[in-house]
Amino acid sequence: MTDQKKVVDILLGMGRVMEENKEFLTDLDNTIGDGDHGINMARGFAEVEKQAEGLAGKDIGNILKTTGMTLVSKVGGSSGPLYGTAFMKAGMTIGAKTEIGMDDFLGGLEAGIEGVKARGKSTTGEKTMLDSMVPALEAMKEKQAAGADVKAVLEAGVAAAEAGVEATKPMVATKGRASYLGERSVGHQDPGATSFAFLLKEICNAY
């Protein structure tokens, strides 16, 4: 089981990973987007870190909803409303719990993904974060149903997310700023799909 403190620790870890990969994500975004993804994600999670002390006493649903609101307010690019919506929907689905298990996590992620689809009016195959999120969720659900332990479920998710990132390379972007490039977006991995794979890997590393 995962308690409130661990959830906050993981969020702080996500902030470190976004800071460490700020340049990398921004470079990816420079190639096919507006070159702000790494900077924006690092700025958003730095704000989450500032609130970490206040977050620790809240239930997990509230921690996630507050994180989502912070990302919406502070990120400044599309990843703000998209990741912000994902965290808020996950928080609403998980609700006022102080401990969660894998089923709660997968339910939260599923709600988050549905939120991203609705917010971005997008689906898989459009060279977006959904192309790593959706395969990761499917792989984890499958492992969970097969009775695997937490670590094995998360590892399967990370592997699927990373494969999903690779799969964005040949795709033509039809959503987001990269869609202005059309065919010229082919050959480059999607920054949003990449940042999700980093975030999921950070969750996995915590177990």
Partner 1 sequence: MVGIVIVSHSEKLAESIVDLTRMMADGANIVAAGGLEDGSFGTSYDRIKEAIEKVYSAEGVIILMDMGSAVMTTEMVLEEFDAGSKIRMVDAPIVESAVAASVSALCGNSIEDIIAEIEETKNAAKF
Question: Any alpha helices (H) in the chain, and if so which ranges?
Answer: 4-20, 22-32, 37-50, 52-55, 60-74, 79-94, 102-120, 130-145, 150-168, 191-205
60, 63, 82, 137: which one contacts partner 1 (CB under 8 A)? Answer: 82
Q: Does 84 interact with partner 1 (rule: CB under 8 A)?
A: yes
DSSP classification of residue 120: H
Measured from the CB atom, the residue of 60 and 75 that comes closer to partner 1 is 75
- When binding is defined by CB under 8 A, the residue of 78, 128, 168, 189 that contacts partner 1 is 78
Residue 190 within binding range of partner 1, rule CB under 8 A: no
Q: Contact with partner 1 (CB under 8 A): which of 29, 36, 104, 202?
A: 36
Selected binder of partner 1 within 89, 117, 177, 188 (CB under 8 A): 177
Instruction: Please report the DSSP string for 20-73 in residue order.
Output: HTHHHHHHHHHHHS-S-HHHHHHHHHHHHHHTHHHHTTS-HHHHHHHHHHHHHH
Nearest approach in angstroms of CB 133 to partner 1 is: 17
Residue from 15, 61, 112, 120 that binds partner 1 (CB under 8 A)?
Answer: 120
Question: At closest approach, how far in Å is the CB of 20 from partner 1?
Answer: 21
Which residue, 114 or 138, is less far from partner 1 as judged by CB? 114
Q: Say if CB 160 and CB 134 are below 8 A apart.
A: no
Q: Is 99 helix (H, G, I), strand (E, B) or coil?
A: strand
Tokens of 207: 């177990």
Stretch that binds partner 1, among 48-56, 78-86, 142-150, 152-160 (CB under 8 A): 78-86
Name which position in 9, 27, 34, 114 contacts partner 1 (CB under 8 A).
34
**Residue 195, interface with partner 1 (CB under 8 A)?**
no
| CA nearest neighbour of 190 among 108, 126, 116 | 126
Q: Which of residues 85-104 bind partner 1 (CB under 8 A)?
A: 85
Distance (Å, rounded) from C-alpha 51 to C-alpha 185? 37
Task: Tell me, by CB under 8 A, how many residues bind partner 1.
Answer: 18
